[in-house]
Structure 1
Amino acid sequence: MSRAGRRAERIAGAADRRLPLLQGGALLRKAFPEHWSFMLGEIALYSLLVLILTGVWLTFFFQPEMTEVVYDGSYPPLRGVLVSAAFDSTLNISFDVRGGLLIRQMHHWAALVFIAAIGLHMLRIFFTGAFRRPREVNWVIGLTLFVLALAEGFAGYSLPDDLLSGTGLRIAQGIMTSLPVVGTYVAFFAFGGPYPGHDIITRLYPLHILLLPGAILALVTVHLMLVFHLKHTQWRGPGHTNRNVVGKPLFPQFTALSTGLSLTVGGVLTLMSGVAQINPVWTYGPYRPDVDSTGSQPDWYVGFLEGALRLVPPWETNVAGHTLMWNVLLPAVVLPALLFGVLYAYPFVEQRLTGEWYREQHLCDRPRERPVRTGLGVAGTVFYAVLLVAGANDVIAQSFRVSVNALTWILRVSLVLAPVVAFLVTRWLCRALTEAERERLAEGVPTGDIRQNVTGGYESGHEPVEEFRPGAPRRALTGGRTGTPSRRPREPERPSR
């Protein structure tokens, strides 16, 4: 071995003795499942990386101030208009900084993809039961990441101080004031005075670029450490057990795959930013408290709150001299608290009810095997979808020429009945699919052969399929795919004499 090779070996050995870098090579040989659904978390991670890079670049040009200035930039329709310094710097980034509009749109698209990838990743974990012991803490961390991502997205969405984001801040101020007793004080301190105040952008800015990103990065780090410490879940298949992980090793196969995925995510986000316009603040104009944009819609991840606010009737009561605005408090405070409270508690409650809290689970469930859990997940998704549609009830009513009041009542009824129907139908489908599979296992796989029985009738031939237990390899199924008929190997032909 050359001198350079021996030196590199000594450096690697010294680092391995002090840090868990190599662990005798075990870390590099750690296996990762190959199924595409396990890549959703990586898409969220690489979207976060794009967010950080583009966000750092934008901080050099954005001015988080609400002082009024006269716009004198490259966009003629707004020249001479009195705008805030935040809105002025946003237009400057979009029109006067080289590549500024591309980077700004990349930042916005990456935020949408980041939250969507986290949501889909959480759905995959929920429907497959990957939140069970010993991964309950990782479920809590992932759900907290989702909540922080929502808050981070709303804070960034509000910074340009345009008419659309200002409308969202006005709704946020109404939610704050709906809090009993303390609501008025919370809104006063948040906005730095009576609405619209002069400090909300200045206070959202450090929250957006420092506090929330720091918390997100810390939780992502802990999440990845737990993923490495706790072995991956995996789909059932030949050789897949609770004691192993079948997949590609970290280096070099998985590293190459993950690197390609990161470049693909970056390339797709760049392409979307170049051809698909998003958040054109110059068409909305600067925010004015006395003006509301027609058909204003927030980003999709807070659309369910908008829909909930639109569906609740105008209920108000007076208690001890205080007005309780139930039409704001219930949909914007109580409903999200209940929703996320149920999600936080679900892994612990399910394992207690099913008696699985005492054993570790490393194999993913197929959704059909858990009809109640799958039904609850589909019901929750339908509930969210109805609220999301309700957030655009005015646009839908105008587009389809229907009464907005009639559409609101239809959505109110759907919000109550649709999740129940979705739960019952999903549970029935899961049980029907499971029963059909059991019958196939009992009767065998049809071979396509038709033969006549002793009574003169005809019946199809079946090939026996070995019944499998959860977690046991399906030796009679080829390729490890459910529903693939087994095929007997053809016997070699004897040579003719």
Structure 2
Amino acid sequence: MNEHSHGPGRSAATRAVPPLRAVLNRVFPDHWSFLLGQIALYSFVVLLVSGTFLALFFEPSMEEAVYDGSYTRLQGTTMSEAYASTVDLSFEVRGGLFMRQLHHWAAMLFMASIVVYLLRVFFTGAFRKPRKAQWVISLLLFWTGLVASYTGYMVLDDGMSASGMRILSAILMSVPVVGSWLAMSVFGGEYPGEVIIGRLYLLHLLTPVLMIGLAAVGAVLRLRQKPAQWPGAHRSSTNVVGQRAFPQYAAKQTGLFLGVSAVLALLGGLFQINPIWLYGPSHAAVAAALSQPAWYVMFLDGAVRLMPPWEVTIPIGDGYAVPPLFWAAVVLPTILVVLPIAYPFIEARVRRDRREHHLLERPRDAPARTASGAMAVTFYLVLTLAGAGDVLALTFHISANAVTWAGRIGLVLLPAVAYWITYRICLGLQQHDREVLARGVETGIIRRLPDGGFTEIHQPLAQPDDQGRSALPYAGSAVPKKLNHLRVLEAVEPASPSTPLDRGVRRPV
């Protein structure tokens, strides 16, 4: 691999190169975890292409029509033009079903990759100054993508999306004081109204425009700042070690884009998803049994199921009762939006950290942050499992009430347990690294001592100094654990001022 490093020692001629050449010479760190954001980007490109094709044939109208297409089981059925056009798109447009499924799989991959990307940024501390704005933009991309996916699911007007539409109406109605007015305004009258499909479709078209704008702002910020990189040999806060944008990095990204497109094409062509012709048209009074939302919104369904039937009365007039749905479906999502956005600022204030950070942290080196992230992930997973409570009860032949209470208890206890376990694991991993730095790498060779005891021989990681000591200080970088991982490299920059390194010491990786 050809590696390059850009640092403060660049010549005046290099600093004065034209903008295009500067972009082509930009160095990007080479690590697999940095590809997660690109996977989200390339799946979004596939979403735009497939969505443009689908928009040519979709009719966002709630006007009733009698189906007379090629799918015989629905012939003579009264349905909305939105649902009829989607069925026709699936069976009568050449390549229509493939494009529908490609679009759906691309949406699933986009949401999954951006979630994993956000987890990588959080657990490695890549959101710290000067990248707080990039963290906020990434979170906004996630929530905007969730709205785009939800509206795209709703506009099909099939029997499955009818359940989601009914839940949306109930959530709007649960808002104190203005709930009834809000629901009537959104639906254009009493549920289900006659305009909601067109409005959701318009929102579905506007969200990609907003996402493109957010992605463009994020790209500009990334170009103005140097990339964050893992600590290691020759890496510091003043340079970047990796591959140039052209040709190495560009070739790798081209291959990744083609690979993502190929995988999505295989999924769209071989694996059926969202067969709306089996669900039938939407009916306001009909709910499908065991219907489940998409995985990325199932936590909201789980929160609604676990919320106890507690009503809070607001002293307005004769008293206004706030339904439990409001706390689970409005207050909780609001907290989940605001808290991650505020976290970088909260952590910087608590740690009194105003420095710029261009080196990532291993999760074990920030145990409080890692434990907090594990607690949040556990909270989310419990809610997600609760969203499938009816399926779990039916599958394992247990009481649905027992599943609900297990979810409530787990939602209170499991996040705290996850925090404690993760925190202890991080401290244990740090201690193990310090032992390797102090004693060396285990060789597997056992030596018998003169007194009859046995001891294992360790390979020191550095040459002894003048006083015969070979222990190395803890620096927050990866420590070799096996003999075949040993190679001597230059000292790396410390992860924090509390773990200084002596310059000039040759270190292993």
Q: Give the alignment's TM-score, normalised by structure 2.
A: 0.87
How far is 1:173 from its partner? 0.8
Q: Unpaired runs of 5+ in structure 1?
A: 1-19, 475-479, 490-497
Q: Which residue of 2 aligns with 1:263?
A: 258
How far is 1:342 from its partner? 1.2
Q: Which residue of 1 aligns with 2:334?
A: 337
Q: Does 1:292 align with 2:287?
A: yes
Contact 2:434 / 2:474 at 8 angstroms: preserved in 1? no
How far is 1:326 from its partner? 3.6
Q: Report the count of equivalent residues.
A: 461
Mark the CA change 1:425 to 1:35 in structure 2 (over 3 Å): closer, same or farther: same
Mark the CA change 1:343 to 1:48 in structure 2 (over 3 Å): closer, same or farther: same
Mark the CA change 1:326 to 1:438 in structure 2 (over 3 Å): closer, same or farther: farther
Contact 2:64 / 2:81 at 8 angstroms: preserved in 1? yes
User: Superposition pairs for residues 98-109 of structure 1, below 5 Å?
Assistant: 98-109=94-105
Contact 1:21 / 1:27 at 8 angstroms: preserved in 2? no
How far is 1:158 from its partner? 0.3
Provide the C-alpha distance between the structure 2 equivalents of 1:190 and 1:322, rounded to a whole number of angstroms: 26
Q: Unpaired runs of 5+ in structure 2?
A: 1-15, 463-471, 489-509
CA offsets per residue over residues 381-417 of structure 1, 9 Å max, x none?
1110110111110011101111100111011100110
CA offsets per residue over residues 5-28 of structure 1, 9 Å max, x none?
xxxxxxxxxxxxxxx995272211
Q: Which residue of 1 aligns with 2:467?
A: none
Q: Does 1:166 align with 2:162?
A: yes
Mark the CA change 1:450 to 1:484 in structure 2 (over 3 Å): closer, same or farther: closer
Mark the CA change 1:179 to 1:488 in structure 2 (over 3 Å): closer, same or farther: closer
Pick from 23, 29, 37 the counterpart of residue 27 of structure 1.
23
User: Superposition pairs for residues 278-289 of structure 1, below 5 Å?
Assistant: 278-289=273-284
CA offsets per residue over residues 220-269 of structure 1, 9 Å max, x none?
01111111211111112111111111111100011111011101111101
CA offsets per residue over residues 165-211 of structure 1, 9 Å max, x none?
111011011111111111111110100100110110011111111x2
Provide the C-alpha distance between the structure 2 equivalents of 1:481 and 1:439, rounded to a whole number of angstroms: 10
Mark the CA change 1:284 to 1:238 in structure 2 (over 3 Å): closer, same or farther: same
Q: Which residue of 2 aligns with 1:37?
A: 33
Q: Which residue of 2 aligns with 1:234?
A: 229
What SS is found at the alignment partner of 2:235?
coil
Contact 1:22 / 1:28 at 8 angstroms: preserved in 2? no
How far is 1:68 from its partner? 0.4
Q: Which residue of 2 aligns with 1:253?
A: 248
Q: Which residue of 1 aligns with 2:296?
A: 301
Provide the C-alpha distance between the structure 1 equivalents of 2:374 and 2:438, rounded to a whole number of angstroms: 30
Contact 2:442 / 2:482 at 8 angstroms: preserved in 1? no
Which amino acid is the alignment partner of residue 245 of structure 1?
A: V
Which amino acid is the alignment partner of residue 187 of structure 2?
A: F
Q: Which residue of 1 aligns with 2:86?
A: 90
How far is 1:316 from its partner? 2.4
User: Superposition pairs for residues 183-222 of structure 1, below 5 Å?
Assistant: 183-209=179-205, 211-222=206-217
Contact 2:36 / 2:116 at 8 angstroms: preserved in 1? yes
Provide the C-alpha distance between the structure 2 equivalents of 1:487 and 1:88, rounded to a whole number of angstroms: 64
Of residues 443-452 and 28-37 in structure 1, the stretch that sits farther from structure 2 once superposed is 443-452
Pick from 363, 366, 380 the counterpart of residue 359 of structure 2.
363
What SS is found at the alignment partner of 1:446?
strand
Which amino acid is the alignment partner of residue 328 of structure 1?
A: L
Q: Does 1:153 align with 2:173?
A: no
What SS is found at the alignment partner of 2:24?
coil
What SS is found at the alignment partner of 1:461?
strand
Contact 2:28 / 2:242 at 8 angstroms: preserved in 1? yes
Mark the CA change 1:359 to 1:484 in structure 2 (over 3 Å): closer, same or farther: farther
How far is 1:454 from its partner? 5.5
Percent of aligned pairs sharing the same letter: 47
Runs of 4+ in 1 over 4 A off after TM superposition: 452-456, 486-489
Pick from 470, 475, 478 the counterpart of residue 470 of structure 1.
475
What SS is found at the alignment partner of 1:26?
helix
Q: Which residue of 2 aligns with 1:379?
A: 375
Contact 2:436 / 2:481 at 8 angstroms: preserved in 1? no
What SS is found at the alignment partner of 1:361?
coil
What SS is found at the alignment partner of 1:459?
strand
Contact 2:389 / 2:400 at 8 angstroms: preserved in 1? yes
What SS is found at the alignment partner of 2:240?
coil
How far is 1:336 from its partner? 1.1
Mark the CA change 1:253 to 1:75 in structure 2 (over 3 Å): closer, same or farther: same
What SS is found at the alignment partner of 1:246?
strand
How far is 1:483 from its partner? 2.7
How far is 1:457 from its partner? 3.3
Q: Which residue of 1 aligns with 2:481?
A: 483
What SS is found at the alignment partner of 2:241?
coil
Of residues 251-260 and 453-462 in structure 1, the stretch that sits farther from structure 2 once superposed is 453-462
Contact 1:445 / 1:463 at 8 angstroms: preserved in 2? yes
Pairwise CA RMSD: 1.8
Q: Does 1:352 align with 2:349?
A: yes
Contact 2:441 / 2:482 at 8 angstroms: preserved in 1? no
Provide the C-alpha distance between the structure 2 equivalents of 1:327 and 1:281, rounded to a whole number of angstroms: 32
Of residues 440-449 and 226-235 in structure 1, the stretch that sits farther from structure 2 once superposed is 440-449
Contact 2:390 / 2:400 at 8 angstroms: preserved in 1? yes
Provide the C-alpha distance between the structure 2 equivalents of 1:334 and 1:65, rounded to a whole number of angstroms: 32
Provide the C-alpha distance between the structure 2 equivalents of 1:73 and 1:138, rounded to a whole number of angstroms: 48
What SS is found at the alignment partner of 1:69?
strand
User: Superposition pairs for residues 432-447 of structure 1, below 5 Å?
Assistant: 432-447=428-443
Q: Does 1:427 align with 2:423?
A: yes
Provide the C-alpha distance between the structure 1 equivalents of 2:216 and 2:18, rounded to a whole number of angstroms: 18
Contact 1:237 / 1:481 at 8 angstroms: preserved in 2? no
How far is 1:327 from its partner? 1.7
How far is 1:465 from its partner? 2.3
